[in-house]
């Protein structure tokens, strides 16, 4: 099995390192200092389950990897629409795309029986741009419950968890202590936030179904203003 991890950040690098340790052929696609550190010394994982180092192939050029069986997307969802050129070299006829994203996915209503079957959520998939880059028939749903951070280039701290039910996930969040969510990490770094899939999409679904969500609308408005200030500052 050949796997490419596109966006080898905190989650992507952790998943790639774990798969590589299990004997899977893994190719990490990263950039900057993080990529250089991985090339030099591999991915160092610091975990309560035991520290380990993995040495998967790492590159910033998907064409160097070629077609794979599975693409694990570690990108932020607001990067999906522009990911087509990065994804294309990794695909063959049956390649699956496993999107480890926050919030509402672009494939949410795909083949879902009922009155909203095939509905495209505009805030998540504006104008069908994400579907064009990531065809619906390739999508494999993935909900990530692990808490991870990039401690330094090439070093990932795994704080808690893999996949849990809701009662255990809440306890797991308590165990993670002062772990910062990926959205908070982006905020502190001045990066644009994933608000479309986390908030705008849920408000759009509320409009679609007639649900009353005044508190969510207020949070969305305030968060949108914060995000607009971040974007202007970039």
Domains along the chain with CATH numbers: 2-142 (3.40.50.720)
**Apex 100 CA angle, 206 and 216, nearest 5:** 25
**Whole-number Å distance between alpha carbons of 10 and 49:** 17
Q: How long, in residues, is the chain?
A: 234
DSSP annotation string for 33-97: HHHHHHHHH-EEEE-TT--EEE--EEES-HHHH---SEEEE-S-GGGGGG-HHHHGGG--TT-EE
- pLDDT at residue 174 in the model: 57
Taking the model in full, what pTM does it have?
0.73
Q: What is the pLDDT of residues 149-194, one digit of tens each?
A: 999 999 999 987 755 332 744 455 556 566 677 777 777 788 777 7
Token readout for 217 is 């609308």
Least confident of 44-48, 55-59, 72-76, 172-176: 172-176
**Whole-number Å distance between alpha carbons of 45 and 214:** 42
Kindly state the percentage of the chain with pLDDT values over 70: 91
| Side-chain-side CA neighbours of residue 164 (13 Å) | 14
104 within 8 A of 128, measured Cβ to Cβ: no
Q: What is the pLDDT of residues 86-103, one digit of tens each?
A: 999 999 999 999 988 878
- Find, among 193, 196, 161, 160, the residue nearest to 178 by Cα: 160
Residue 127 has what DSSP assignment? G
**Apex 29 CA angle, 45 and 157, nearest 5:** 20
Between these two residues, 222 and 23, which has the higher pLDDT value? 23
């Amino acid at each position: 099995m050949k796997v490419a991890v596109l966006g080898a950040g905190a989650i992507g690098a952790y998943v790639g390192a774990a798969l590589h340790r299990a004997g899977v052929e893994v190719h990490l696609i990263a950039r900057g200092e993080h990529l250089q550190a991985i090339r030099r010394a591999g991915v160092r994982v610091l975990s309560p389950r035991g520290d380990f180092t993995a040495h998967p192939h790492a590159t910033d050029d998907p064409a160097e990897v070629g077609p794979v069986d599975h693409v694990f997307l570690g990108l932020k969802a607001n990067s999906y629409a522009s990911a087509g050129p990065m994804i294309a070299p990794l695909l063959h006829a049956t390649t699956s795309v496993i999107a480890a994203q926050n919030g509402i996915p672009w494939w949410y209503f795909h083949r879902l029986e009922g009155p909203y079957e095939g509905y495209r959520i505009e805030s998540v998939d504006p104008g069908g741009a994400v579907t064009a880059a990531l065809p619906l028939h390739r999508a494999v749903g993935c909900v990530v419950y692990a808490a991870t951070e990039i401690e330094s280039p090439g070093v990932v701290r795994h704080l808690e968890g893999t996949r849990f039910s809701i009662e255990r996930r809440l306890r797991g969040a308590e165990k993670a202590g002062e772990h910062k969510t990926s959205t908070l990490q982006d905020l502190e770094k001045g990066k644009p936030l994933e608000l479309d899939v986390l908030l705008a999409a849920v408000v759009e679904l509320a409009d679609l179904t007639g649900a009353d969500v005044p508190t969510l609308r207020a949070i969305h408005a305030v968060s949108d203003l914060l995000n607009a200030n971040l974007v202007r500052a970039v």
